[in-house]
């Protein structure tokens, strides 16, 4: 059945205006974004196929490429762009924060800054967070994407921005696409190597936080380096 044939109280847009966005199902939210279906498929059918595309459901959209959506019958360039733009807007809202990034009181503060940004990523993203003498964050620098810990991290690459910005200390952070925040043997080896380099440079490593799916691990708190 086409959405147009539904009674007003069942139409996603009317439901949103009447009851609020929180009352919409995920499929209904997608239907609002997609706006229309095709000649032989309703917009709700199209939304349902997108959600069924991957076992992760709506999480599939967090890091998918345009080509993945365009392979779905009925998803042309316009619909793909509208949907991915909405996903990116949601990501930016989740990551937005006041101009002053904040003071670090513990590993949970770092995890809060990065959890929604990284928990659904399909590749490992490694960040170096630069901290001043008062414990305020100066800057966050994305050092690499992909296989940093499988190949080993060069201290020169990791600490270069910290040296340029005269950081007093650094906090490392990366995500595990598996969702399990426990470190691998290579994570441990690389972190210890970088901590030794930081001591030589006079830029101590305060922590290395690993982001999982809704969970994190502080390597410092676990006395892993």
- 144-154: per-residue pLDDT in tens? 888 655 445 67
Task: Specify the pLDDT at position 105.
Answer: 83
CA terminus-to-terminus distance, the chain: 60
pLDDT tens digits, one per residue of 163-173: 999 999 999 99
Q: How confident is the model at residue 159 (pLDDT cuts 50, 70, 90)?
A: very high
pLDDT tens digits, one per residue of 122-138: 889 999 999 999 989 99
Residue 185: CB atoms within 10 Å = 8
Task: Specify the pLDDT at position 99.
Answer: 47
The token duo for 85 is 């733009």
Using a pLDDT cut of 90, give the percent of the chain over it: 59
Q: How confident is the model at residue 39 (pLDDT cuts 50, 70, 90)?
A: confident
How far, in Å, CA of 209 to CA of 193, rounded?
16
Residue 205 has pLDDT above 50, yes or no: yes
Q: How confident is the model at residue 201 (pLDDT cuts 50, 70, 90)?
A: very high
Token pair 């939304």 is found at 47
pLDDT tens digits, one per residue of 80-125: 999 999 999 988 887 765 545 567 888 899 999 899 889 989 889 9
How far, in Å, CA of 122 to CA of 53, rounded?
16
**What's the whole-number average pLDDT of the chain?**
88
How far, in Å, CA of 29 to CA of 12, rounded?
7
How far, in Å, CA of 203 to CA of 209, rounded?
17
Residue 221 has pLDDT above 80, yes or no: yes
What sections of the chain are H helices per DSSP?
A: 12-19, 26-34, 43-52, 66-70, 77-95, 107-118, 148-151, 155-164, 185-201
Residue 1 has pLDDT above 60, yes or no: no
- What fold is seen in the domain 107-218? Cytidine Deaminase; domain 2 (3.40.140)
SS3 138: strand
Residue 72 has pLDDT above 70, yes or no: yes
Task: Specify the pLDDT at position 4.
Answer: 62
How far, in Å, CA of 54 to CA of 178, rounded?
15
């Amino acid at each position: 059945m086409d959405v147009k044939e539904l009674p007003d109280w069942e139409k996603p847009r009317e439901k949103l205006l009447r009851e609020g966005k929180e009352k919409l199902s995920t499929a209904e939210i997608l239907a609002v974004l997609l706006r229309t279906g095709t000649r032989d498929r309703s917009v709700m059918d199209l939304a349902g196929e997108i959600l069924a595309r991957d076992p992760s459901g709506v999480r599939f959209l967090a890091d998918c490429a345009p080509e993945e959506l365009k392979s779905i019958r009925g998803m042309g360039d316009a619909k793909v762009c509208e949907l991915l733009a909405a996903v990116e807007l949601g990501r930016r809202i989740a990551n937005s924060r006041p101009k002053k990034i904040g003071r670090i009181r513990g590993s949970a503060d770092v995890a809060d800054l990065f959890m929604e940004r990284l928990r659904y990523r399909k590749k490992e993203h490694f960040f170096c967070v630069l901290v001043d003498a008062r414990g305020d964050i100066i800057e966050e620098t994305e050092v690499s994407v992909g296989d940093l810990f499988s190949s080993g991290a060069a201290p020169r690459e990791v600490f270069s921005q910290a040296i340029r910005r005269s950081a007093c200390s650094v906090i490392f952070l990366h995500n595990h696409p598996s969702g399990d925040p426990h470190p691998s043997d290579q994570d441990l080896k690389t972190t210890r190597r970088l901590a030794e380099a930081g001591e030589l440079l006079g830029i101590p490593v305060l922590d290395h936080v690993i982001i999982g799916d809704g969970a994190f691990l502080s390597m410092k708190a676990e006395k892993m380096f």
